[in-house]
Chain A
C-alpha cells in the first residue's frame, strides 16, 4: 500500500539504519555539548558528584543547569525545527529549492518577532500579561504562518505549484517583510537597534529555561505533526490529482504542512534569530543517502538538524572563547560550501 513498499529494499533499510546511527551520534554530541565550554566545568565529575550524593558547586550547577542545559535543549529543538521545516516545505512545493529561509517565510517570522520586540511597550497591558514570554514566539509563528499561506496562494493555481512563481513570490515577500522590519528597526532606539543587528545573525547565547518553555511546546507540536505528514507528502510527490485519486485528503495534508512549517520556523526564528542553511542542506544530504521517502526522511531530518545545530553551537561558543560567535555565521560558513558541493554533484540528476 505505502509508497515505500515499492521502493528498492536497500534504501528503506538504509533509512532505518540511519535512524539508529543519527540517534547515537545525537546523544554523543549532546553529551559533548554539555561537557565543553569556556569554563572548565565538565559533565563527568558533576555526574559523579550527583551519584555519590555530593553537592555541586554553585558554579557547576549554574553552568550545567542554567547555561548549557537550556542551550542544548534549544539547540536540539531549533535544529530539528529548521531541518523538518525545510523538508516539509520541499515536499509541499515538490521542489528541492524550497526552504523557509530562501522563500521569505523566515523573514515573515522575523517580522513577527521584531514587531513583538519593538512594539511590546505599546501592547495593551492585558495582552502582554496573557502572552508574557510567549508573545515573541506567537508573533513569530503568526508572521511565518501568514507568509507561508501568502506564498502558497500566490504560487499555486488549480493545484499546480509554479516553481518560478514560488521563488519570485518568495523573494518579493521576503523583501516586503524585510522592509517592514526595517521600519520597525528605524523606530527602535539605539539599544534595540544593536540588539536586533546581532539577533539577525542568530545565536543560542540567550538560551534560558523561559525560552525553552516558550518555544518548546510549539516546536514539539510541529515536529509531532510533521511525523504524521510522511505518507501525505509522498502522495503529493505524485502530483495533487494522482494523490487525490489514491485516496489522500490533499487539502488537509497541505493545510497541516503549512501550519507545521510556520510553527517550526516561527518558533525557531523567535528563539534563535536567523540561522540559515540547516533547512536546505539537511534534507538534501538525507535524500542523497536514503532516498526520497518522506516517512524516514522527516525523522532523520529532525535528528540530523538537531545534531548539526548543536555541533555548530559548540563551535560558535568554543572557537573564540571567552567571546562567542553568532551561530548563523557558523552554519553559513559550513553550510554554503556543502550546499554548493551538493549542487555540483546533482547537476544533471535533478531538474530544477
Chain B
C-alpha cells in the first residue's frame, strides 16, 4: 500500500468513528477523585483530559500541578462544579453523600470505580476507568499487562522460603497508641500478596490496639507509610513504645516504610509494590533494618510498573 492510499484509508476510518476519536482525544473535562483513579488515568495516557484532581491524587508528580478540589471525603459541590466537568471519575467512598447526590444531578456523568484489594479488583478498576473514558481497548491492554506483572510478582512472592513473616501495618502511633490494620483493608491485602501474614486478624478495618494486644500479636516486621524524609529518630520512638518493645520486630528493629499510595493504591503499580514489600520482608542476607522503599519519580508516556528503588 502506498502512502497516499494509507492516508486515505486512515481518514476513512477516522470518519466512521468521529465521536470516538473526539471523545478519546479532545474533550478536556474530567475530574479525578482518588489517587488510584488518577494513576490509572495517567497510565492510560489520558491525562490531557484532566481538569482537576483531589488531594489524595499525588502520583505521578505531574498530577500535583492540576488544581486540587480538596480531600475526596469532604468535597464542596460548588467547588467541583466550578470546573464544569462533564465526567467525574471517583474512587469508592467519595463524599459527603449529599454532595455526591448533587454532583450526580448536575448533568455530570458520575462514575464510581469499584474498590477492592486483590488482583481482579485492580483489573476491574482499570477497565471501569477505561470504559468511562471511552478507551476500552487501551484499558484492556493495561489491565492485562498489570495482571501479568502482578501474577509474576505474586509467583515470585510465593517462592519465598522459610516461615511467613508476621507483619503489623501501623497507620499511626498518635499519643503512643498503635493504630493497626485488621482484615478487609488495603494493608491486609498487600501483606498477603507479598507473602506475609497480617499479625492482626481479630477485627476489620483500622483500630487502636491495646499495648498488650500489640505485644501478643508478636509481629516480626512493622509496616508503615513513609511520610517524611528523616526516620532515624522516629524508629527509636517507634520501638520504644511499650506496645512494641516486647515484639520480635523491635528486637530486630525490623520496620518497612513505603509510600502510602504506592503500597495501598491497588492500581497499575501494585505489582511493583508486591515485589518491593516481598523483598523488604525477606531480604537476601546480609541485611540491615530499617528499610525504606521509595517510588521512582520519573514518569512519562512509558509507565513504570515497578517504580521503586533500594535505599
Contact = CB atoms under 8 A, between A and B. Distances in A.
Nearest to B92: A191
A2 interface: no
A210 B75 CA distance: 19
A66 B81 CA distance: 12
B205 A189 contact: yes
A184 interface: no
Nearest to B95: A195
Given A58-B107, A208-B101, A195 B96 contact: yes
A324 B70 contact: yes
B83 interface: yes
A324 B76 contact: yes
Given A67-B102, A323-B70, A190 B79 contact: no
Given A38-B78, A38-B79, A323-B55, A195 B205 contact: no
A324 B77 CA distance: 9
Contacts of A205: 74-77, 96, 98-99
Contacts of A37: 78, 82
A207 B76 CA distance: 11
Interface in A204-239: 205-208, 210-211
Interface residues of B, number: 35
Contacts of B75: 205, 323-324
Contacts of B81: 38-39, 59, 62-63, 67
B156 interface: no
A244 interface: no
Interface in B141-160: none
Contacts of A210: 98
B69 A322 contact: yes
A321 interface: yes
A52 interface: no
A198 B73 contact: yes
B145 to A, nearest CB: 31
Interface string A30-60: 0000000111100000000000000000110
Interface of B: 52, 55, 67-71, 73-84, 93, 95-99, 101-102, 105-107, 185, 204-207
Q: Which 3 A-B pairs have the closest CB atoms?
A: A323-B70, A322-B79, A324-B76
